Amino acid sequence: MIRMGRGNRDEPANDVQEGTSAPAYNQIYDTPPTVTRGAVSESDSMARDIKEGRLSGFVGHGTTLTGETVFHAMLRVDGHLIGTVASEAGTLIIGTNGQVDANVSVAAAMINGTVNGDVIASEKLQLGRTARVMGNIQSPRLIIEEGAILEGSCSMLKARETQEEEAVSAAQYEEEQEASAGSADDEDSEAYLTGLYEAEKDEEEADAAAV
């Protein structure tokens, strides 16, 4: 699991000095003060996703990671990632400030940052309005929001054809296995009949010689 970068948890401020107490009611309206519950911070949300197995790794803002990156569930990049990124069934999320200088091969990708390299998504590829991709993309399902920049070729039919060819190849392989099993049975039957015929012929020749 990859987890690099600092969290953005803010320490609560303590405005009440020791020896004093905060007013329990508003002095003007004599009503209880409104209590606003803060939203869940991004670091808390990511910690929950990691704990529950939805997030495999996180590259934080200001962090640079170089090398071959392989993950399973989901990888979020808000920093700088250099090298290669691969996942057969995982989802890659690139934040607005994220930059990936690598060839990407994943199941699904949601890009809101910058990618310098080719992107192959076997299931789905989405380019947000702040996305900037300098490379070729390939995916059977493609969503491009207004404002996204793509400098490269786009192939959707090839990706779909590749999936169809793989499915056809698997079906043909199964048929060939069944056919080979059937032909083996036919050869065994033919050899058995041939043996019976030769045995009967030998018996007839022996009877003729005896007469």
Domain extents in the chain = 2-12+38-155, 156-211
Give 11's pLDDT tier (boundaries 50, 70, 90): very low
CA distance 103 to 85: 6
Nearest partner of 149 among 124, 113, 119, 117, judged by Cα:
113
101: exposed, middle or buried (Cβ count in 10 Å: 0-12, 13-18, 19+): middle
CA distance 1 to 144: 30
Q: How far is CA 78 from the centre of its chain?
A: 18
First to last CA, the chain: 90
Nearest partner of 120 among 164, 84, 83, judged by Cα:
84
Give 36's pLDDT tier (boundaries 50, 70, 90): very low
Residue 185 confidence (pLDDT): 60
Helix (H) or strand (E) holding 71: none
CB 88 within 8 A of CB 96: no
Q: Does the reported pTM lie above 0.85?
A: no
